[in-house]
Amino acid sequence: MRLRLTRHGVCIPGFKAAGARSGKYGVALIKSEAPATAAVMLTSNKVKAAPLLVSREHAGNEIFGIIANSGNANAFTGEAGMRDARSMCSLAAELLGGSAENYLVASTGVIGRRLDLARVESLARRAAQSLECSPQASEAAARAIMTTDTFPKLCSVEAVLEDGKRYHVGGIAKGAGMIAPELRHATMLCFLTTNARLERDELEEALAGAVKQSFNRVVIDGDTSTNDFVALLANGSSDCEGEGFQEALNLVTQTLAKSIARDGEGATKYIEVRVLGARSDAEAELAARAVAGSNLVKSAVFGGDPNWGRIVAALGYSGAELVPEKLSLYVGTKGDERRVCLVKEGKPLAIEGTQELKAAEEVFSGREIYITAELNLGSGRGEAYGCDLSYDYVRINAEYTT
């Protein structure tokens, strides 16, 4: 199988999309040209937004599409919020066909406030007029669900099999803040599509695997949202079984996850942490998340300060087994084109007056920082993706509702 990146986004062959915005409100529509099977994953937060609960009810049905809004989370809104979420599904059915039970619904924005349904309806009707299968339509849908994001997040691939048959996987996502590790499921809004032919159990297993190696590795600020939601629709319109589907889906979700990390609220730098040689993959993931989520590490990266002691401290409190005398620590640029050893088997190298410290300062002054920790205790491997912590993060969240 050969994978080729394409420009379709969520609008792979067999799917259409559209989006419309007005101020802070936006509405995205995604329509499957054939009835689709769905797999969904929800936030681990015990407060789950009404749209997620409705989508969970509908996910076992034939799914014709998705309706999503930005500007209001419709979370912690009680029975009224459930009625509003169901009204959005009814609106999608009116505009795109089928019944309300054939649609998934999602929302993002301020928690605890009633949805402005009249505004949602107006934007949805406007979006429906431009529904099409094109990269432009996919981008419009991605922009419609943005909140504090600074750019739309899209990715798609074409899988070409040995016999010449092909299928596609695509997606759009939003997320810049209220994103944290240690989730059982998703960490933001992401809508994925494929025209491969897959059974529901295959779809659910593939989505769980993809989320584990992508979105669950992202940490922006340590907060778990009430509205985190990932949905994957498969409509089989390519008449091609999903050979190699996990690999294709992993590529799309990991690309989207790294885009989210790069666009963290107020972010100026991207951080990627790799932990090798842990006792298990689970411990490696735990250690990587601790480093990527450390406010002290994130602040040091923002300031270009190679204060690697903060990285060591985060590894030490992560919960993963650590033997200081066996630890080696590196920082570098993408592809390790410039790689600096900070600590070698427990011995600090990047100390005052050394070339190692000077080289580390140069790495930390860049826009992308890659941290590698070798624990030398086993074969476990893990990764995490994050960003720095800047003054703008505080400003954005201090003014979020005002």
* pLDDT (tens digit per residue) in 23-74: 999 999 999 999 999 999 998 888 999 999 999 999 999 999 999 999 999 9
Q: Do residues 236 and 193 make contact, with C-beta atoms less than 8 angstroms apart?
A: no
246 and 104, same structural domain? yes
> What CATH number is attached to the domain comprising 33?
3.60.70.12
Quote the distance between the C-alpha of residue 79 and its chain's center. Answer: 29
Six token digits for residue 22: 């007005």
183 and 297, same structural domain? no
DSSP 8-state secondary structure symbol assigned to residue 112: T
pLDDT in tens, 228-283: 899 999 999 998 999 999 999 999 999 999 999 998 877 899 999 999 999 999 99
pLDDT in tens, 80-106: 999 999 999 999 999 999 999 999 999
- What is the span of the domain harbouring residue 323? 270-398
Q: Residues 37, 43, 108, 187: which is the catalytic one? A: 187
Q: What is the pLDDT of residue 213?
A: 93
Six token digits for residue 4: 């080729």
154 and 303, same structural domain? no
CA distances from 203 to 71, 207, 232, 235, 249 (A): 30, 6, 8, 11, 10
Task: Give residues with Cβ within 8 angstroms of 395, minimum separation 6.
Answer: 266
154 and 34, same structural domain? yes
Residue with tokens 């107020």: 266
Identify the CA nearest to 206 among candidates 167, 245, 168: 245
Distance CA 397, CA 148 (A): 10
> What CATH number is attached to the domain comprising 305?
3.10.20.340
Q: What is the pLDDT of residue 131?
A: 98
Domain ends where: 239, 262, 285? 262
291 and 235, same structural domain? no
Q: Please confirm, yes or no, whether 194 is among the known catalytic residues.
A: no
285 and 257, same structural domain? no
SS (H, E, C) 266-334: CCCCEEEEEEEEECCHHHHHHHHHHHHHCHHHHHHHHHCCCCCHHHHHHHHHCCCCCCHHHCEEEEECH
